[in-house]
Amino acid sequence: MNIRVRLTPDETRARIMTVAEQLFRRIGYAKTAVADIAAELGMSPANIYRFFPSKGAINDAICQRLCGESEAMVEAIVVSDRPAADKIRAAILAIHQYNRTLLSDEKRIHEMVEVAMNESWESIEAHCDRYKSMFARIVAEGAAAGEFDPALDPQMCGKAIFGACAGFFHPTLIAQCERKQDKPDPAAMAEFILRALRKSN
């Protein structure tokens, strides 16, 4: 027996995203058609298009959700009560772990992320900018507390920290890293970065 429940537009959007994500993970992004998502939901494709203009837009929304999830995790580190150096270490490891798990968990996710990076460059760039800002806040806080050099420019440091961790954060580099004999160590990079943030003579 089918029970039809009336969903709000937001709930319908969320349902479409959930089902699309399952299909993208199972079949792959390229091989999933909007018609497949519609069939799975018992909706018409035209109805899907009322909520999302394209398959790419659905993927985008899913990736935004993943980005939001990882940003919330780093935000929790930023506002936590511990020395700024520990926050830098924890944030670097958390982003690396999140992205690594996301990608290694399911090869399909890699495909979704790559599509998002190619098709929705601006939203990915905004996501990266939010990470840079969070690192900048930690640096400003550490500088104010006398833990880091007060002469530092927090914005520039936020960019430098994020840039220096590209090998640990970027999906393509994480995937390549798995093949390396001599794997780069995010904890060692965190210590190297902390050296740059502390007061120099």
Site residues (vs a second copy, CB under 8 A): 117, 121, 125, 129, 156-157, 159-160, 163-164, 166-167, 170, 172-173, 176, 179-182, 184, 188-189, 192-193, 195-201
Report the residue number, 102 or 190, with the smaller CB distance to a second copy: 190
Report the residue number, 11 or 125, with the smaller CB distance to a second copy: 125
Q: 3-class SS at 33?
A: coil
Kindly state the smallest distance separating residue 100's Cβ from a second copy, in Å: 15
Whether the Cβ atoms of residue 92 and residue 168 lie closer than 8 Å to each other: yes
Cα within 13 Å of Cα(119), Cβ side: 16
Largest CA distance in the chain: 76
Closest CA to 99 of 165, 156, 155: 165
Number of other residues whose CB lies within 10 A of the CB of residue 41: 16
Kindly state the smallest distance separating residue 106's Cβ from a second copy, in Å: 21
Kindly state the smallest distance separating residue 14's Cβ from a second copy, in Å: 30
Report the residue number, 32 or 120, with the smaller CB distance to a second copy: 120
Report the residue number, 56 or 167, with the smaller CB distance to a second copy: 167
Kindly state the smallest distance separating residue 169's Cβ from a second copy, in Å: 10
Kindly state the smallest distance separating residue 163's Cβ from a second copy, in Å: 5
Whether the Cβ atoms of residue 119 and residue 55 lie closer than 8 Å to each other: no
Report the residue number, 52 or 154, with the smaller CB distance to a second copy: 154
Closest CA to 135 of 118, 123, 121, 148: 148
What tokens appear for 132 in the block?
A: 């840079």
The span from the CA of 90 to the CA of 102, in Å, is: 18
